[in-house]
Structure 1
Amino acid sequence: MKYEFTIIVPVFNEQECLHELLGQLKAYLAKASKITRVLLVDDGSTDSSPQLIREFCSQNESFRYIIFERNFGKGAALKAAFDHIDTPLLGYLDADLQTYPQDFEKLLPFIGEYDLVTGWRRDRKDTLVKRISSKVGNGVRHFFTSDKMHDTGCPLKIMKTSFAKNIPMFKGLQRFLPAMVLLQNGKIKEVEIPHYPRLAGKSKYNFRNRFMGPLIDCFAYVWMKKSYIKYKIGDRNE
Structure 2
Amino acid sequence: MTRISVVIPAKNEAENIVALVEGIDRALALLAPFEIIVVDDCSTDNSVAVLQARATTMPHLRIVRHDRSGGQSAAVQSGVKSATAPVICTLDGDGQNPPEELPKLVAPILNDTTGRIGLVAGQRVGRQDTWSKKWASKFANGLRGWILQDGTRDTGCGLKAFQRQAFLDLPYFDHMHRYLPALFNRDGWQVAHVDVSHRPRGAGRSNYSNIQRALVGIVDLAGVAWLLRRRKKARVLPDTVQGDAK
Aligned to 1:67: 65
Question: Relative to structure 2, which stretch is displaced further, 46-55 or 192-201?
Answer: 46-55
Distance in 2 (CA, whole Å) between partners of 1:57 and 1:227 is 44
Match of 2:56 among 53, 58, 65: 58
Q: Report deviation, 1:34.
A: 4.7
Q: Report deviation, 1:110.
A: 1.4
Distance in 2 (CA, whole Å) between partners of 1:140 and 1:165 is 27
Distance 1:163 1:230, change over 3 A: farther
CA contact 2:27–2:102 (8 Å) conserved in 1: no
Distance in 2 (CA, whole Å) between partners of 1:232 and 1:85 is 29
1:119-175 Cα deviation digits (max 9, x unpaired)? 111211111011011111212221221111011111100001121111111111111
Spell out the pairing of 1:39-188 with structure 2 (5 A cutoff).
39-111=37-109, 112=112, 114-188=117-191
Identity of aligned pairs, percent?
28
What is the identity, as a one-letter code, of the residue corresponding to 1:197? P
Matched, 1:216 2:219: yes
Distance in 1 (CA, whole Å) between partners of 2:232 and 2:30 is 36
Tell me the C-alpha RMSD between the 2 structures. Answer: 1.7
Q: Report deviation, 1:231.
A: 5.7
Spell out the pairing of 1:8-27 with structure 2 (5 A cutoff).
8-27=7-26
Q: Report deviation, 1:21.
A: 1.3
DSSP 3-state at the match of 1:116: strand
Number of residue-to-residue matches in the alignment: 236
Match of 1:37 among 28, 31, 35: 35
CA contact 2:37–2:61 (8 Å) conserved in 1: yes
Q: Report deviation, 1:191.
A: 1.0
Uncovered stretches (5+) of structure 1, i.e. residues with no partner: none
Question: Relative to structure 2, which stretch is displaced further, 192-201 or 49-58?
Answer: 49-58
Q: Report deviation, 1:192.
A: 0.9
Q: TM-score, normalised by structure 2?
A: 0.89
What is the identity, as a one-letter code, of the residue corresponding to 1:81? G
DSSP 3-state at the match of 1:153: coil
Distance in 1 (CA, whole Å) between partners of 2:227 and 2:81 is 20
Uncovered stretches (5+) of structure 2, i.e. residues with no partner: none
Aligned to 1:189: 192
Structure having the higher Rg: 2
Q: TM-score, normalised by structure 1?
A: 0.92
Question: Relative to structure 2, which stretch is displaced further, 15-24 or 181-190?
Answer: 15-24
CA contact 1:140–1:215 (8 Å) conserved in 2: no
CA contact 1:137–1:215 (8 Å) conserved in 2: no
What is the identity, as a one-letter code, of the residue corresponding to 1:127? T
